[in-house]
Copies of this chain bind each other. A is one copy, B any other.
């Protein structure tokens, strides 16, 4: 493994297996050809051509579009592409910050290849020997990445919450931090990747925050997602990300970005530096 290998793993996909998904004249995602061809049989509201999935002209508003997507989501469960719906809805956006065109169950998002937004918080402390990062070890009973290492706080961005609200909620649930501490998180950039999965195309855009924890505050999980937290010096973090598959796939990228921004990974100690810096935001 190398830093670059993790980036490549998060960007493995072949768009020739997909066709464009459009809503209301906006490109919003990618659908596998095989699913595309099945959709008109699921709901005649889907209008499918050889290179495009669209919807019928009479389906004009947010609720109608969302109902159509609900039918598709139910079909995905029925045929086993998706194990179960999550009951948590993501916005379907032409671009970040725009009005949502529809909502879609989180579990079905990759099947439509829509951009999924999330936030990741690097929790760190500054010591005499440099920085240390708070690492969460995910619980063994999770569906996603059981037992793997994670950021102190991370979560998807559901419809109807602002980033600030979501950060406060996730910081409380995942790390037991109060709102005042959560507000110390500083936005520092974004990570972007597109990964082909069994469900479809996972196009994730992660808003990244750094949170320097005040003395005396340590993260404590409250929702069962994290089994334990550990404080690791950056040398150990870097060696682990570079040399193992112990981390949740996308957390490798968030942590690599942290190592770059804080001067641990440099153009002088890492031959892949430029490819890494550029590859974190494809």
Which A residues have a C-beta under 8 Å from some C-beta of B? 95-97, 162-164, 186-190, 192, 205, 207, 260-263, 266-268, 271, 273-275, 277-278, 280-282
Copies of this chain per assembly: 2
Contact across chains for A267 and B188 when beta carbons are under 8 A apart = no
Known: A96-B273, A274-B205. A187 touches B267 (CB 8 A): yes
CB distance from A85 to the nearest CB of B (A): 27
10 contacts between A and B (CB under 8 A): A95-B275, A96-B274, A97-B271, A164-B268, A186-B262, A187-B268, A188-B260, A190-B273, A190-B278, A192-B277
CB distance from A26 to the nearest CB of B (A): 15
Inter-chain pairs besides A97-B267, A192-B274, 19 sampled, C-beta below 8 Å: A95-B274, A95-B275, A96-B267, A96-B271, A97-B271, A97-B273, A163-B267, A164-B268, A187-B263, A187-B266, A187-B267, A188-B260, A188-B262, A189-B261, A190-B277, A190-B278, A278-B282, A280-B281, A281-B281
Main secondary structure of the interface of A (DSSP, over half): mixed
Contact across chains for B267 and A190 when beta carbons are under 8 A apart = yes
B residues near A262, Cβ cutoff 8 Å: 186, 188
Contact across chains for B188 and A261 when beta carbons are under 8 A apart = yes
A267 CA / B206 CA spacing, docked (Å): 11
Contact across chains for A281 and B271 when beta carbons are under 8 A apart = no
A205 CA / B96 CA spacing, docked (Å): 28
CB distance from A234 to the nearest CB of B (A): 13
- CB-nearest residue of chain B to A97: B271
Contact across chains for B277 and A278 when beta carbons are under 8 A apart = no
A268 CA / B277 CA spacing, docked (Å): 23
- CB-nearest residue of chain B to A190: B277
B residues near A273, Cβ cutoff 8 Å: 96-97, 190
B residues near A192, Cβ cutoff 8 Å: 274, 277-278
Contact across chains for B189 and A268 when beta carbons are under 8 A apart = no
CB distance from A280 to the nearest CB of B (A): 8
- CB-nearest residue of chain B to A282: B278
CB distance from A269 to the nearest CB of B (A): 9
Known: A268-B162, A277-B281, A281-B281. A263 touches B186 (CB 8 A): yes
CB distance from A117 to the nearest CB of B (A): 8
